Structure 1
């Protein structure tokens, strides 16, 4: 199990390293992914005073700074995490009066809940409806860590929501990985309009996580979207299972420390946490199918010119396609491409470095055709032959089953 050596690293992801995006991000041209059924949820409807459901949540317990010189000691006590009887889970940070509190050496107690041993998942919509605390030195967060043996940041970290007490109107969304962690993380900020603060009421914090793209929302407003192109050549480490964490930290390098203005105790109230599958959409990701087979990158080879073929659906990344809203269709960090920019019937399809040229533009019609506008031709299965390895092509659109694609 991942231990205390893993940092909640955005402590050093300061506002200086975060893009100053805000409500204007609602004008983004990227469409949201289509959301499928809920696959995991906690609605927190247990009686008042009861602990979190241990079939869904476990505890991180301890102090020692958590790698960020934080001041809290995380406990499994219902003083720090319990249902309120009104459909919420409440995480409470408390001042304990010095270094001789009941739990050991601590100034404050709080709770950190995680799903590492109960639920992990690759891709989907992860979201929570929360009311945040408000005071200097508090650091509530809803985030995810990747599983695996590469440690932090090699396994990856996706921060869905982070807020610090001295910025009560701001929420941050961040990616951490090898070469872009802590102060070098890839981060964006959302600011509530009209001076509102996240402690004034409930807000919904959402991430849509798809192959090669992560998109953040607050109250349904998209404020950030990151792809491998945003990492400056560093590796994208977000294609394996992650688990969820929610906690309230006290102090640390990034939020700073409680002072004379700090009011305690403070609470983060969680109405629900839900995970849904994603199907398709403007930012959709997943398989593209016809004739019972999947569109596949041959050999999962990301090199330019690798053929795009038909193959048995197997769930690998070679069959995970995203549509980031710019007209392209992408897998393995490359674009679906008409070889040589050809327009003739029978021109083969491949992947190539995304370049913005017309050979990489596709339109999905209501009739389920995938059309390359430059050639006005459809993506086609040659001879309607569903044999594994049959390389796809463009062909005059004819309405046949060999050109009817499900995204």
Structure 2
């Protein structure tokens, strides 16, 4: 979502996790196909790229479905989280997966809708879809401009699921019409734009054949966001059918696809000295806004109600950007080791002489986790305090199991913004590992 940023409820902010900052590089958009069997067949017609939309806050011209030199996509691993929206018609979406933003403040963009948690605005349709409905209203809610003219819904996973890295995708049939603004996107926290934003799909109603993918961060937010647009060839319109919108997010790249066709890739470094902030857990958002600075406002041509229909939302791990099993060595050349080679949840992770056993073989599958014996390196009880022990636990996608590896050889848990640390700077066998404020000491340096 562009321009000024939405205001978030405190509960959503608490769930977002802290940001760990790095530097970034941009690469030119490329066109390729994702390997997923779930994506739709690409359009058969080929069109030439067209000029960027006037006033649209993105970098680069829209890309059409025309084929270009392929680029290898990351291999897709297991599904981490999904919602297929199964259930009876009229039922609210699963509250263990989705919560709501509520209100009519304008959300920083002079939007005209009041977001509700009513099933009038978001409900299952009984055939495996979630439907978000924007309705014209005649009073009943108060907005920043007076009695609200519209209601809609904005669903988010800030309190239920956050994840760093992976494939994020949804199969969606978007609404249509002047002033209608559907989006599927992600935020890294409540401190915008420092915590970052990844827009997987945005459409504004006056561009029925175009969707936008954008990143926003410090110094490149709002109208200065970095992104590109994708145009369906042959005059096709996105509202006429379902399309699959995907990003593959790896530690050093974000790649966008529509229906399996890659149209943009951004990778770490060339932001003119600005900061890459896509190395910590984000949460997902789906919404339909009505009006706003960028899309403009409904007019006599806008039919209401308008619906966005979501077939599924899915998050999968990526293995193509990760590494094979190997030792992680640190203080005194010793290895990160699972005590007793015990795969039970809660087993202490420690320092020990390197011995080549499975208890010292760690993989980094590209989803931000570090894994051994089929489980994840985990900060006990999702703690953030200095001295919180590190253990092995079943992989669950939360911020306690996210790690980034810095150029300075630190392994950092972004949720705590603290380093993997050898307790007491003690190189003796069986010294437990913990998290601690990053100091640059030898007991926090790791060869991965």
TM-score w.r.t. the length of structure 2 is 0.62
In structure 2, the partner of 1:113 is: 155
Question: Shift of the alpha carbon at 1:287?
Answer: 2.9
CA positional deviation for 1:233: 1.8
Number of the residue aligned with 1:380: none
Secondary structure, counterpart of 2:208 in structure 1: coil
Q: 2:135 aligns with which of 94, 104, 115?
A: 94
The 2-side partners of 1:62 and 1:390 are apart by 47
Post-superposition Cα deviations, 1:259-286, rounded to whole Å, max 9, x if no partner, equal: 1111100000000000000001xxxx22
> 2:262 aligned with 1:222, yes or no?
yes
Change (3 A) 1:152 1:197: same
The one-character-per-residue Cα deviations of 1:194-228 (angstroms, maximum 9, x if unpaired) are 11001110000000000110000000000000012
1:50 paired to 2:91: yes
Give yes or no for the alignment of 1:174 onto 2:179. no
131 and 13 in structure 1: CA distance in 2 versus 1, 3 angstrom threshold? same
Give secondary structure in 2 for the equivalent of 1:77.
coil
Q: How far does residue 27 in structure 1 lie from its aligned partner after superposition?
A: 1.6
Q: Which residue of 1 aligns with 2:101?
A: 60
Structure 2 Cα separation of the partners of residues 163 and 333 of structure 1: 37
TM-superposed deviation, 1:106:
1.0
Contiguous gaps of at least 5 residues in structure 1: 7-11, 299-309, 322-330, 335-387, 393-407
**Structure 2: which 5+ runs fail to align?**
1-6, 13-52, 334-355, 371-404, 409-443
**1:64 positional shift:** 1.3
Which whole-Å CA distance do the structure 1 matches of 2:215 and 2:59 have between them?
11
User: What is aligned with 1:193?
Assistant: 233
Is the deviation greater in 126-135 or in 100-109? 100-109
User: What residue number does 2:288 align with?
Assistant: 248
For residue 175 of structure 2, the aligned residue among 133, 141, 144 is 133
Conservation of the 8 A alpha-carbon contact between 2:254 and 2:266: yes
Rounded Cα–Cα distance in structure 2 between residues aligned with 1:134 and 1:25: 24
**In the TM superposition, what are the counterparts of 1:196-211 in structure 2 within 5 Å?**
196-211=236-251
Q: CA deviation at 1:23?
A: 2.4
The 1:215–1:109 alpha-carbon spacing in structure 2 relative to 1, beyond 3 Å, is: same
| 8 A Cα contact 2:325 2:361, kept in partner | no
State whether structure 2 residue 161 is matched by structure 1 residue 122: no
Question: Is 1:278 matched up with 2:318?
Answer: yes
Query: How far apart are the structure 2 equivalents of 1:390 and 1:245?
Result: 35
* Change beyond 3 A, Cα 1:390–1:251: closer
Alignment partner, residue 267 of structure 1: 307
| Counterparts of 2:255 and 2:185, CA distance in 1 | 14
Superposition map of 1:317-336 within 5 A: none
Name which of 65, 72, 85 aligns with 1:31: 72
The aligned residue for residue 164 of structure 1 is 204
Which ranges of 4 or more aligned residues in structure 1 deviate by more than 6 Å?
A: 314-317, 388-392
Per-residue deviation at 1:114?
A: 0.1
TM-score, normalised relative to structure 1: 0.68
* 2:185 alignment partner in structure 1: 143
Separation of aligned partners in 2, 1:390 and 1:80: 50
Q: Using a 3 Å threshold, how does the CA distance of structure 1 residues 294 and 196 change in structure 2: closer, same or farther?
A: farther
Q: Output the aligned Cα RMSD.
A: 3.3
CA distance in 2, matches of 1:13, 1:312: 53
Aligned length: 302
Residue number in structure 2 paired with 1:287? 323
For residues 272 and 262 of structure 1, the distance between their equivalents in structure 2, rounded to whole angstroms, comes to 27
SS in 1 for 2:269: helix
Distance 1:13 1:82, change over 3 A: farther
Change (3 A) 1:241 1:270: same
Output the CA distance in 2 between the equivalents of 1:260 and 1:274.
Answer: 37
- Whether 1:79 aligns to 2:84 is no
Would the alpha carbon gap of residues 232 and 49 (structure 1) be closer, same or farther in structure 2, given more than 3 Å must change? same
Give distance in 2, aligned partners of 1:390 and 1:276.
27
Distance 2:271 2:446 in 1: 34
Matched, 1:40 2:81: yes
Alpha-carbon offset, residue 17 of structure 1: 3.2
SS at 1:199 equivalent: helix
